[in-house]
Amino acid sequence: MILLGACAGWSLITAAAHDGRPEGMLLAVLAVAAGYAAGRVSGALLPVAAPCAGAVAGLALAAALPGLSPGPWYAVPLGHAGATAALLALATGAACCAAWATTAPGLRLGMGALACATVPAGIVVGSAAGCVASAAVLLCSLGAGSVRGRGPWLAGLVMAAGLVTATVWAVAADVLPAGLAGALEGRFPAQRVPQWEDALRLTGRNSGLGVGPGRFGELSQVTPRTLLSDGRPHSAPLQQAAEQGLVGVCLLVAVFCWVLYALWRTSRPTPVALTAGAALTVLAALASVSNALSFTTVTAGAGLLAGWSTARPWTGDTLASDR
Protein backbone atom coordinates (compact mmCIF):
# COMPACT_ATOMS: atom_id res chain seq x y z
CA MET A 1 0.00 0.00 0.00
CA ILE A 2 2.91 2.32 0.72
CA LEU A 3 4.33 1.72 -2.76
CA LEU A 4 0.96 2.28 -4.45
CA GLY A 5 0.48 5.44 -2.41
CA ALA A 6 3.93 6.60 -3.51
CA CYS A 7 2.99 5.96 -7.16
CA ALA A 8 -0.17 8.02 -6.76
CA GLY A 9 1.63 10.78 -4.86
CA TRP A 10 4.47 11.01 -7.38
CA SER A 11 2.02 11.27 -10.28
CA LEU A 12 0.36 14.21 -8.51
CA ILE A 13 3.73 15.88 -7.91
CA THR A 14 4.85 15.55 -11.53
CA ALA A 15 1.42 16.65 -12.74
CA ALA A 16 1.59 19.78 -10.60
CA ALA A 17 5.08 20.56 -11.87
CA HIS A 18 4.15 20.35 -15.57
CA ASP A 19 0.37 20.83 -15.66
CA GLY A 20 -0.11 17.14 -16.41
CA ARG A 21 -3.16 14.91 -16.19
CA PRO A 22 -2.65 12.24 -13.48
CA GLU A 23 -6.13 10.73 -13.76
CA GLY A 24 -4.96 7.73 -15.78
CA MET A 25 -2.23 6.84 -13.29
CA LEU A 26 -4.54 7.35 -10.33
CA LEU A 27 -7.17 5.11 -11.92
CA ALA A 28 -4.56 2.40 -12.53
CA VAL A 29 -3.37 2.58 -8.91
CA LEU A 30 -6.95 2.42 -7.66
CA ALA A 31 -7.70 -0.58 -9.90
CA VAL A 32 -4.64 -2.49 -8.66
CA ALA A 33 -5.38 -1.70 -5.01
CA ALA A 34 -9.06 -2.61 -5.32
CA GLY A 35 -8.25 -5.79 -7.23
CA TYR A 36 -5.63 -6.84 -4.69
CA ALA A 37 -7.96 -6.24 -1.75
CA ALA A 38 -10.81 -8.10 -3.45
CA GLY A 39 -8.43 -10.93 -4.34
CA ARG A 40 -7.18 -11.29 -0.77
CA VAL A 41 -10.72 -11.43 0.63
CA SER A 42 -12.24 -13.71 -2.02
CA GLY A 43 -9.12 -15.89 -2.09
CA ALA A 44 -9.33 -16.39 1.67
CA LEU A 45 -13.00 -17.37 1.54
CA LEU A 46 -13.06 -19.22 -1.81
CA PRO A 47 -9.48 -20.23 -2.69
CA VAL A 48 -10.60 -22.37 -5.65
CA ALA A 49 -13.88 -20.84 -6.80
CA ALA A 50 -12.63 -17.24 -6.84
CA PRO A 51 -9.72 -17.70 -9.30
CA CYS A 52 -11.88 -20.07 -11.35
CA ALA A 53 -14.55 -17.37 -11.72
CA GLY A 54 -11.81 -14.88 -12.52
CA ALA A 55 -10.46 -17.08 -15.29
CA VAL A 56 -13.90 -17.37 -16.88
CA ALA A 57 -14.41 -13.62 -16.58
CA GLY A 58 -11.00 -12.97 -18.14
CA LEU A 59 -11.82 -15.17 -21.12
CA ALA A 60 -15.17 -13.40 -21.58
CA LEU A 61 -13.59 -9.96 -21.39
CA ALA A 62 -10.86 -10.93 -23.85
CA ALA A 63 -13.53 -11.93 -26.34
CA ALA A 64 -15.60 -8.80 -25.71
CA LEU A 65 -12.71 -6.33 -25.38
CA PRO A 66 -13.16 -4.57 -28.74
CA GLY A 67 -16.58 -3.48 -27.53
CA LEU A 68 -15.29 -2.23 -24.18
CA SER A 69 -12.85 0.41 -25.36
CA PRO A 70 -13.14 3.09 -28.07
CA GLY A 71 -9.39 3.22 -28.62
CA PRO A 72 -7.61 2.19 -31.85
CA TRP A 73 -6.52 -1.39 -32.36
CA TYR A 74 -3.12 -2.69 -33.40
CA ALA A 75 -3.70 -6.19 -34.68
CA VAL A 76 -0.05 -7.11 -35.30
CA PRO A 77 1.64 -8.55 -33.36
CA LEU A 78 -0.08 -7.86 -30.04
CA GLY A 79 -3.75 -8.29 -30.80
CA HIS A 80 -6.02 -5.53 -29.60
CA ALA A 81 -3.46 -3.10 -28.14
CA GLY A 82 -1.92 -5.86 -26.03
CA ALA A 83 -4.88 -5.94 -23.63
CA THR A 84 -6.35 -9.11 -25.13
CA ALA A 85 -3.05 -10.94 -24.75
CA ALA A 86 -2.69 -9.67 -21.18
CA LEU A 87 -6.20 -10.79 -20.21
CA LEU A 88 -5.63 -14.23 -21.69
CA ALA A 89 -2.36 -14.61 -19.79
CA LEU A 90 -4.04 -13.55 -16.53
CA ALA A 91 -6.98 -15.89 -17.20
CA THR A 92 -4.59 -18.79 -17.75
CA GLY A 93 -2.75 -17.96 -14.55
CA ALA A 94 -5.99 -17.80 -12.57
CA ALA A 95 -7.22 -21.14 -13.94
CA CYS A 96 -3.89 -22.82 -13.17
CA CYS A 97 -3.84 -21.35 -9.65
CA ALA A 98 -7.33 -22.76 -9.08
CA ALA A 99 -6.18 -26.15 -10.35
CA TRP A 100 -3.19 -26.23 -8.00
CA ALA A 101 -5.30 -25.00 -5.07
CA THR A 102 -7.75 -27.91 -5.13
CA THR A 103 -7.14 -31.49 -4.05
CA ALA A 104 -10.15 -32.96 -5.88
CA PRO A 105 -8.88 -34.79 -9.01
CA GLY A 106 -12.01 -34.08 -11.04
CA LEU A 107 -12.01 -30.39 -10.21
CA ARG A 108 -8.29 -30.12 -10.92
CA LEU A 109 -8.84 -31.73 -14.30
CA GLY A 110 -11.62 -29.28 -15.09
CA MET A 111 -9.50 -26.28 -14.12
CA GLY A 112 -6.65 -27.65 -16.23
CA ALA A 113 -8.98 -27.97 -19.20
CA LEU A 114 -10.08 -24.35 -18.70
CA ALA A 115 -6.44 -23.24 -18.66
CA CYS A 116 -5.73 -25.19 -21.83
CA ALA A 117 -8.76 -23.62 -23.52
CA THR A 118 -7.26 -20.14 -23.20
CA VAL A 119 -4.40 -21.03 -25.56
CA PRO A 120 -6.50 -21.57 -28.72
CA ALA A 121 -8.82 -18.77 -27.53
CA GLY A 122 -6.05 -16.34 -28.50
CA ILE A 123 -6.28 -17.46 -32.11
CA VAL A 124 -10.09 -17.32 -32.04
CA VAL A 125 -10.11 -13.68 -30.89
CA GLY A 126 -7.34 -12.71 -33.32
CA SER A 127 -4.43 -12.38 -30.91
CA ALA A 128 -1.44 -14.54 -31.74
CA ALA A 129 0.46 -12.92 -28.87
CA GLY A 130 -2.36 -13.94 -26.53
CA CYS A 131 -1.97 -17.55 -27.67
CA VAL A 132 1.80 -17.43 -27.06
CA ALA A 133 1.41 -15.67 -23.71
CA SER A 134 -1.18 -18.18 -22.48
CA ALA A 135 0.98 -21.09 -23.62
CA ALA A 136 3.99 -19.64 -21.77
CA VAL A 137 2.01 -19.31 -18.53
CA LEU A 138 0.59 -22.83 -18.93
CA LEU A 139 4.02 -24.37 -19.49
CA CYS A 140 5.48 -22.51 -16.51
CA SER A 141 2.60 -23.73 -14.35
CA LEU A 142 3.15 -27.33 -15.43
CA GLY A 143 6.84 -27.02 -14.61
CA ALA A 144 6.04 -25.45 -11.24
CA GLY A 145 4.55 -28.72 -10.04
CA SER A 146 8.00 -30.26 -9.59
CA VAL A 147 9.71 -27.20 -8.08
CA ARG A 148 10.80 -27.30 -4.43
CA GLY A 149 12.46 -23.93 -3.80
CA ARG A 150 10.58 -20.96 -5.23
CA GLY A 151 13.25 -18.31 -4.62
CA PRO A 152 15.53 -19.03 -7.62
CA TRP A 153 12.54 -19.32 -9.95
CA LEU A 154 11.08 -16.01 -8.84
CA ALA A 155 14.50 -14.42 -9.24
CA GLY A 156 14.56 -15.82 -12.78
CA LEU A 157 11.19 -14.18 -13.46
CA VAL A 158 12.59 -10.82 -12.33
CA MET A 159 15.53 -11.29 -14.68
CA ALA A 160 13.23 -12.23 -17.57
CA ALA A 161 11.10 -9.10 -17.09
CA GLY A 162 14.25 -7.00 -16.78
CA LEU A 163 15.67 -8.49 -19.99
CA VAL A 164 12.54 -7.57 -21.97
CA THR A 165 12.56 -4.04 -20.58
CA ALA A 166 16.29 -3.62 -21.25
CA THR A 167 15.82 -4.85 -24.82
CA VAL A 168 13.05 -2.33 -25.48
CA TRP A 169 15.21 0.41 -24.00
CA ALA A 170 18.16 -0.68 -26.16
CA VAL A 171 15.98 -0.65 -29.29
CA ALA A 172 14.81 2.87 -28.44
CA ALA A 173 18.41 3.98 -27.85
CA ASP A 174 19.55 2.31 -31.11
CA VAL A 175 22.45 0.50 -29.45
CA LEU A 176 21.72 -3.02 -30.69
CA PRO A 177 23.54 -4.59 -33.67
CA ALA A 178 21.88 -3.67 -36.95
CA GLY A 179 20.74 -7.20 -37.75
CA LEU A 180 19.19 -7.84 -34.36
CA ALA A 181 17.60 -4.41 -34.22
CA GLY A 182 16.09 -4.86 -37.68
CA ALA A 183 14.66 -8.26 -36.76
CA LEU A 184 13.05 -6.89 -33.60
CA GLU A 185 11.70 -3.75 -35.25
CA GLY A 186 10.12 -5.83 -37.97
CA ARG A 187 7.87 -7.48 -35.39
CA PHE A 188 6.10 -4.22 -34.53
CA PRO A 189 4.02 -1.63 -36.39
CA ALA A 190 6.07 0.96 -38.27
CA GLN A 191 5.35 3.76 -35.80
CA ARG A 192 6.15 1.79 -32.62
CA VAL A 193 9.94 2.15 -32.50
CA PRO A 194 9.86 5.90 -33.38
CA GLN A 195 7.43 6.33 -30.49
CA TRP A 196 9.87 4.58 -28.17
CA GLU A 197 12.70 6.78 -29.43
CA ASP A 198 10.54 9.82 -28.83
CA ALA A 199 9.84 8.72 -25.27
CA LEU A 200 13.55 8.21 -24.64
CA ARG A 201 14.28 11.67 -26.07
CA LEU A 202 11.78 13.25 -23.69
CA THR A 203 13.30 11.27 -20.83
CA GLY A 204 16.74 12.63 -21.60
CA ARG A 205 15.44 16.19 -21.46
CA ASN A 206 13.34 15.70 -18.32
CA SER A 207 14.83 12.80 -16.39
CA GLY A 208 13.88 14.23 -12.99
CA LEU A 209 10.16 14.99 -13.08
CA GLY A 210 9.36 13.95 -16.64
CA VAL A 211 7.09 16.01 -18.86
CA GLY A 212 4.00 15.32 -16.77
CA PRO A 213 1.43 12.49 -16.77
CA GLY A 214 -0.67 12.30 -19.90
CA ARG A 215 1.48 14.79 -21.86
CA PHE A 216 3.44 12.44 -24.11
CA GLY A 217 0.95 12.85 -26.96
CA GLU A 218 1.24 16.64 -26.78
CA LEU A 219 5.04 16.81 -26.84
CA SER A 220 5.85 13.84 -29.05
CA GLN A 221 7.17 14.57 -32.53
CA VAL A 222 5.93 11.23 -33.88
CA THR A 223 2.44 10.91 -32.40
CA PRO A 224 0.82 13.76 -34.38
CA ARG A 225 1.91 12.04 -37.62
CA THR A 226 0.64 8.62 -36.53
CA LEU A 227 -2.74 7.51 -37.82
CA LEU A 228 -5.25 6.75 -35.04
CA SER A 229 -2.71 7.44 -32.31
CA ASP A 230 -3.83 7.17 -28.68
CA GLY A 231 -1.10 9.51 -27.45
CA ARG A 232 0.99 6.81 -25.75
CA PRO A 233 4.39 5.30 -26.59
CA HIS A 234 3.06 1.76 -26.08
CA SER A 235 5.66 0.84 -23.49
CA ALA A 236 4.90 1.22 -19.78
CA PRO A 237 8.54 1.74 -18.65
CA LEU A 238 9.24 4.29 -21.39
CA GLN A 239 5.96 6.08 -20.77
CA GLN A 240 6.76 6.29 -17.06
CA ALA A 241 10.25 7.56 -17.84
CA ALA A 242 9.00 10.22 -20.26
CA GLU A 243 6.05 11.42 -18.20
CA GLN A 244 7.22 10.89 -14.60
CA GLY A 245 10.99 10.67 -14.86
CA LEU A 246 13.30 7.97 -13.61
CA VAL A 247 11.65 8.03 -10.18
CA GLY A 248 8.43 6.92 -11.83
CA VAL A 249 10.26 4.00 -13.46
CA CYS A 250 11.79 2.99 -10.12
CA LEU A 251 8.35 3.01 -8.47
CA LEU A 252 6.93 0.84 -11.26
CA VAL A 253 9.80 -1.65 -10.89
CA ALA A 254 9.45 -1.60 -7.10
CA VAL A 255 5.76 -2.55 -7.28
CA PHE A 256 6.53 -5.51 -9.56
CA CYS A 257 9.40 -6.69 -7.36
CA TRP A 258 7.28 -6.35 -4.22
CA VAL A 259 4.58 -8.58 -5.74
CA LEU A 260 7.15 -11.28 -6.49
CA TYR A 261 8.54 -10.86 -2.96
CA ALA A 262 5.03 -11.38 -1.57
CA LEU A 263 4.73 -14.53 -3.68
CA TRP A 264 8.02 -15.75 -2.24
CA ARG A 265 6.71 -15.22 1.32
CA THR A 266 3.16 -16.49 0.78
CA SER A 267 1.96 -19.58 2.60
CA ARG A 268 0.14 -20.80 -0.52
CA PRO A 269 1.60 -23.86 -2.31
CA THR A 270 4.68 -23.22 -4.41
CA PRO A 271 2.94 -24.09 -7.74
CA VAL A 272 0.31 -21.42 -7.00
CA ALA A 273 2.95 -18.79 -6.22
CA LEU A 274 5.09 -19.59 -9.25
CA THR A 275 2.11 -19.74 -11.62
CA ALA A 276 0.94 -16.31 -10.49
CA GLY A 277 4.49 -15.00 -10.79
CA ALA A 278 4.78 -16.35 -14.33
CA ALA A 279 1.47 -14.75 -15.37
CA LEU A 280 2.43 -11.39 -13.89
CA THR A 281 5.86 -11.58 -15.54
CA VAL A 282 4.23 -12.23 -18.91
CA LEU A 283 2.01 -9.21 -18.23
CA ALA A 284 5.10 -7.13 -17.45
CA ALA A 285 6.69 -8.22 -20.74
CA LEU A 286 3.54 -7.34 -22.68
CA ALA A 287 3.33 -3.98 -20.92
CA SER A 288 6.90 -3.23 -22.01
CA VAL A 289 5.92 -3.44 -25.69
CA SER A 290 2.26 -2.36 -25.65
CA ASN A 291 -0.28 -0.23 -23.82
CA ALA A 292 -1.76 -3.18 -21.91
CA LEU A 293 -1.63 -1.33 -18.56
CA SER A 294 -3.78 1.46 -20.00
CA PHE A 295 -6.83 -0.80 -19.62
CA THR A 296 -8.51 -0.88 -16.21
CA THR A 297 -9.60 -4.47 -16.75
CA VAL A 298 -5.96 -5.52 -17.05
CA THR A 299 -4.67 -3.61 -14.00
CA ALA A 300 -7.59 -4.80 -11.88
CA GLY A 301 -7.04 -8.37 -13.10
CA ALA A 302 -3.37 -8.20 -12.14
CA GLY A 303 -4.33 -7.05 -8.65
CA LEU A 304 -6.89 -9.85 -8.35
CA LEU A 305 -4.39 -12.53 -9.36
CA ALA A 306 -1.81 -11.19 -6.92
CA GLY A 307 -4.43 -11.18 -4.16
CA TRP A 308 -5.66 -14.72 -4.87
CA SER A 309 -2.14 -16.12 -4.90
CA THR A 310 -1.11 -14.47 -1.61
CA ALA A 311 -4.38 -14.90 0.35
CA ARG A 312 -4.47 -17.15 3.39
CA PRO A 313 -7.44 -19.53 3.13
CA TRP A 314 -9.83 -18.80 5.98
CA THR A 315 -10.23 -21.94 8.07
CA GLY A 316 -11.08 -22.69 11.66
CA ASP A 317 -7.36 -23.15 12.42
CA THR A 318 -6.59 -19.74 10.89
CA LEU A 319 -9.30 -18.11 13.00
CA ALA A 320 -8.02 -19.77 16.16
CA SER A 321 -4.43 -18.71 15.48
CA ASP A 322 -5.55 -15.13 14.85
CA ARG A 323 -7.15 -15.10 18.30
- For position 64, what pLDDT does the model report? 78
User: What pTM does this model have?
Assistant: 0.90
Percent of the chain residues topping a pLDDT of 70: 89
Measure the CA–CA gap between 290 and 71, rounded to whole angstroms: 13
| DSSP result, 190-243 | TTHHHHHHHHHHHHHH-TTT-S-TT-HHHH-SSGGGSTT--S--S-HHHHHHHH
- For position 81, what pLDDT does the model report? 53
Residue type, 68: L
Check pLDDT > 60 for residue 110: yes
Check pLDDT > 80 for residue 159: yes
Which pLDDT tens digit goes with each residue over 176-203? 888 888 888 777 777 888 889 999 999 9
Check pLDDT > 80 for residue 321: no
Which pLDDT tens digit goes with each residue over 134-153? 999 999 999 998 888 899 99
Check pLDDT > 90 for residue 71: no
